[in-house]
Structure 1
């Protein structure tokens, strides 16, 4: 499997990252089957978060890591400081609380990649960078990033870090997919647009996309007439996206692959380091993602798919 390099991390990161938002100890056999098969095709990076399944996702991953005795072989990406019913939690206390709890659940003393799950633009980046650097210095975090952070805030944070001799963000995890979002899927979420992609290209800044395959938009399950899934309708139904789907179908036919594999290849062939978070739940879905990750698209093909 192809890999990218994240500054601050010695291990390479595979460009397919296994998602875990359905992992729980109660379905531990399924967790093991998915992770074992993912590793078997060359994957080494697992995405999780403090809030996934009320923390059970991290618990299940910790069980698997301990049973397989492979912690040093794996890259763990977890996220913290998500808002709760009281509002924003992007502050030193919440960041530390969530990190310590995540480490305990994962049965490890460090995470390779730590991302803030949301941003709060009212909080100065100085406060955020300072607390994250305390954890980096203590060895609890190897590299830091922002999930659903704008490139403007990432830039501001990294400028502060550079001025003060601190470690800045070295990866970002917004939504990026061939189907462009009409509006955020959830409040506070960020989808990369053309100007964001230009920034990532200029800085060669690694991007790890969630919902990289647009939540199944390219599987053939949806049509303009079928409005049964209100969230997919709200976020992805547009004339431009139907045309992108048509073009992806055409290119897939030309290359002898599936449409959803073309959608995945769109994310992975960006002109900067890019990874895709995948939600594969069985061997067939894993194999489809793996084959899609091997497809090479030219700049002309990328532009033709996207620019409707």
Structure 2
């Protein structure tokens, strides 16, 4: 297992996503992930059932000290209607998540969505309160633009507070045509350049683009409306073709090439994965060792026509 460090916290570069945990057959894949050296698990207050399953698994196995738990809160569609990026919602969601997870702290806490019109000051004040009281070890933003993160961190810096130390947005070889879910943010070229300048870790959700590179989809198959809506276009099918070609040359799968695209960046990255089978998890573990050059990354992303060498 490979790792990055964030605020003194050691994160496995593969992060086990629990959004679909309730659909899996028990927690066998979590056991496999930990056995392989994985430490970091992503969940959210909105994933109510998943948090409870995870909390029971942690308690039964005594894994808490070995794990890095990231949960998220203040989603705009979780609990009371309307904007929820505010101190009362953050506090409510955090305490409920801690209870479900059978722990008195989370390593990473992220705001699940943004409300762009909400002032950042009260939000950062509230998050810093929980940092000071030990309920959170590091704070970040999920589905915030880099400009809003910078705004929040500028406020924190000018008021003697701790700012966001990580971002979690969508980053994948297949570029999303539109948000997969309401309020989601995908990393564009400007976002990647900002992360490179600041070296802020990006914890990429849907790093494998919902399985777009698995071979289960084709331009003629429109049976999955969400995949068609988000990923089906000429550019992404060309990315798929290039990933398959490079995979054949390297003796790996197109899915592993796609995951390598996320993990081989000019800034620190981790990839949130959602395996549903043991073999899918094993392939993701193997992909961590895959090295891709800048030229290969640019070619895969259609930034150049020829693959050098």
TM-score (norm 1): 0.95
Task: Pick the aligned partner of 1:81 from 74, 86, 89.
Answer: 74
Aligned to 2:9: 11
CA shift for structure 1 position 294:
1.2
Which shows bigger deviation, 233-242 or 91-100? 233-242
Who is 1:221 aligned against? 216
Matches for 1:12-161 after TM superposition, within 5 Å = 12-24=10-22, 30-52=25-47, 55-84=48-77, 86-161=81-156
Per the alignment, in what secondary structure is the counterpart of residue 107 of structure 2?
strand
- Shift, 1:179, TM fit: 0.4
Q: Give the alignment partner of residue 236 of structure 1, picking from 226, 231, 253.
A: 231
Three-state SS of the structure 2 residue aligned to 1:218 is: helix
The correspondence for 2:192, drawn from 197, 208, 215, is 197
Local SS of the residue matching 2:9: coil
Q: Report the equivalent of 2:173.
A: 178
Question: Which deviates the most, 216-225 or 250-259?
Answer: 216-225
Deviation at 1:127, TM superposition (A): 1.0
Correspondent of 1:187 among 174, 182, 194? 182
RMSD of aligned Cα (Å): 1.2
Indicate whether 1:298 and 2:296 are aligned: no
Deviations 1:169-223 (A, max 9, x none): 0000000000001111111100000110000011001001111111011011111
Structure 2 residue runs of 5 or longer lacking an equivalent are 304-309
Aligned counterparts of 1:5 and 1:123: Cα–Cα separation in 2: 30
CA-CA distance at 1:225 after TM superposition? 1.3
2: CA distance, partners of 1:81 / 1:302: 35
Cα deviation, 1:210-243, whole Å, max 9, x if unaligned, reads 1111101101111111111111111111111111
Cα distance between partner residues in 1 of 2:207 and 2:30: 19
- Moved segments of 4+, more than 4 Å: none
Q: By how many angstroms is 1:11 displaced?
A: 2.9
| CA offset digits 1:245-299 (Å, max 9, x no partner) | 1110010000000000000000000111100000012321110110112101011
How far, CA to CA, are the matches of 1:270 and 1:178 in structure 2?
12
- Cα distance in 2, alignment partners of residues 117 and 170 from structure 1: 15
TM-score by length of 2: 0.95
Distance in 1 between the 2:81 and 2:100 partners? 24
Query: For residues 37 and 74 of structure 2, what CA distance do their matches in structure 1 show?
Result: 31
Between the aligned partners of 2:18 and 2:26, the Cα distance in structure 1 is 8
Q: Distance in 2 between matches of 1:87 and 1:31?
A: 34
Answer yes or no: is 1:2 the counterpart of 2:2.
yes
Q: Distance in 1 between matches of 2:21 and 2:36?
A: 20
1:122 aligned counterpart, secondary structure: coil
Instruction: Please give the alpha-carbon distance, in whole angstroms, between the structure 1 residues aligned to 2:301 and 2:169.
Output: 18
Q: Distance in 1 between matches of 2:203 and 2:94?
A: 20
Structure 1, unaligned stretches of length 5 or more? Answer: none
How far 1:123 sits from its partner (Å)?
Answer: 0.8
